[in-house]
Amino acid sequence: MEVWDLNLRHLQAIVRIAELGSICAAAQAVNLTQPAITSALARSEATLGAKLFERRHDGMMPTDAALLLVPRIRAALDHIASPLVTASRMRALLALADSGSYSAASARTGLSLPSLQRAVTDLSLSLRRTLVERRGKGVALSASGLQIARAFRLALVELEAGLAELAALRGRETRRITVGAMPLSRARVLPAAVTCFLRRHPGVKISILEGSRAELVEPLRNGAIDLMIGALREPLLEPDVLQQPLFHDLPAIVARKGHPLEGREPVLAELIAYPWVTAASGAPLRDSWEHMFALAGLPLPQVPVESGSVMTIRQLLMDSDLLTLLSPDQVEVELEAGWLTVLRLAPCALRRTIGVTTRDSWRPTAVQAEFVADLKAAAS
């Protein structure tokens, strides 16, 4: 089943039953009759394929399924923040946000163009906010529309996690974990954690999205990524994310095997005589590289090539006397093969903390928590 098969008002009733312990009290809280809320519960249980409450003389007792699902529903409704939002309206706005046009949203969802437009219009009227703006011949979400779409996406993540936990309770784990991977995490820690995790959970799908922090942080905040691994930032600019350190990394100056400087630990003053390949200006490693020479009061060496690709840098180093600044973990295979060599470690001031970044509202499922534990074990 999909989230869109659920009725948000019925889910609100389920939360009230769990909180208040009786159908009568829940009916008053959500302005439904007692038969209506009883019917809503029965339909929800049929849709979910799980019994949520046991009727007892002292009230409604939540089952294990409800204990898993109700906190997810409550978190989702907190993100939605309005009883006027329906699943169809929520789906229409997210489809428009993800597709960029009504026609593309229609093709993406299989819903008719008029129904999508009507759902978004009704949502805008019910919330009394302009969600879509006309731009030329097309449309785009307004600032309010983008804000609400983010909240809906986070609500969707919570409901999908709840359904996955129900599946796991029935012995059918189908969860997908989406990881944002910055360059350093891809070298050793992430692959080790993934292989260890999949030995225990072969049915869980892991998607790894590679990129810089700037490319990954917004998908993380929007709920498209579950967690992000890489160098932590201080100070932390985003108010809605949290950071957990995994390990510390000290970059090194790397060159080809047989480089003129190999065999002795060169001082920084000797390194400025050689050309370098580094990441582009603004990248954290480039900032560290510039800081290294600034601390020593030295001018910056020439940088004829800028690249953030370890594969490209490796090939450039092997075919020239170029130098670079990288974590030894990123070129571990090349070092073991004898293609590259570490000339010296960077100054201790360049030490970086590598860790996990998540949304502050993220409540990991059991398997997600296991995956984070595997990351910590691999880092140790």
Give the other-Cβ count within 10 Å of 363's Cβ: 14
Token pair listed for 139: 């449309």
Provide the β-strand partners of residue 242: 358
Q: Quick one: pLDDT at residue 171?
A: 75
- Single out the residue of 365, 328, 304, 310 nearest to residue 254, CA to CA: 328
Whether the per-residue pLDDT at 242 is higher than 90: the answer is yes
CA dihedral in degrees (13, 17, 20, 22; nearest 10)? 120
The Cα 66–Cα 39 span in angstroms is 17
Give residue 325's pLDDT.
96
Altogether, the residues listed in the chain come to a count of 380
Say whether pLDDT at 350 is over 70.
yes
Confidence of residue 302 (pLDDT cuts 50, 70, 90): very high
pLDDT average, residue stretch 242-257: 94
Q: Which residue has the higher pLDDT, 18 or 1?
A: 18
- pLDDT, one tens digit per residue, over 201-236 is 888 899 999 988 889 999 999 999 999 999 898 888
Q: Please report where in the chains the tokens 């949520």 appear, as a residue.
A: 52
- Report the run of H or E that residue 316 belongs to, with start and end: helix 310-318
119: CB partners within 8 A, 6+ apart: 88, 89, 91, 92, 93
* Average pLDDT over every residue of 324-339: 92
As a whole-number percent, the residues of the chain with pLDDT over 90 amount to: 74
Q: Is the pLDDT of residue 136 over 70?
A: yes
pLDDT value for 167? 86
Mean pLDDT of the chain, nearest integer: 92
Residue ranges, CATH 1.10.10.10, the chain: 1-172
pLDDT at 173: 64
In this prediction, residues 359-374 reach a mean pLDDT of 92
- Domain boundaries 1-172, CATH class: mainly alpha
Residue 356: the pLDDT is: 96
Q: Are strands 176-181 and 205-210 parallel, antiparallel or unpaired?
A: parallel
CATH number of 175-248+354-379: 3.40.190.10
Residue with tokens 């930032």: 233
Q: What is the structure's pLDDT at 116?
A: 94
81-85, 183-187, 293-297, 321-325: least confident range: 183-187
Which pLDDT score, from 0 to 100, does residue 206 have?
94
What confidence score (pLDDT) does residue 211 get?
Answer: 87
For 43-102, the pLDDT digits (tens) are: 999 999 999 999 888 889 999 999 999 999 999 999 999 999 999 999 999 999 999 899
CB 106 within 8 A of CB 118: no
Is pLDDT above 90 for 198? yes
CATH superfamily of 251-350: Periplasmic binding protein-like II (3.40.190.10)
Please tell me whether residue 164 adopts helix, strand or coil conformation: helix
Q: How far, in Å, CA of 114 to CA of 93, rounded?
A: 13
Q: Where in the chain is the domain with CATH 3.40.190.10?
A: 175-248+354-379, 251-350
Contact 89, 7 (CB under 8 A): no
Taking the C-alpha atoms of residue 44 and residue 19, their distance in angstroms, rounded to an integer, is: 17
* Residue 284 token pair: 């954290």
pLDDT confidence band for 174 (50 / 70 / 90): low
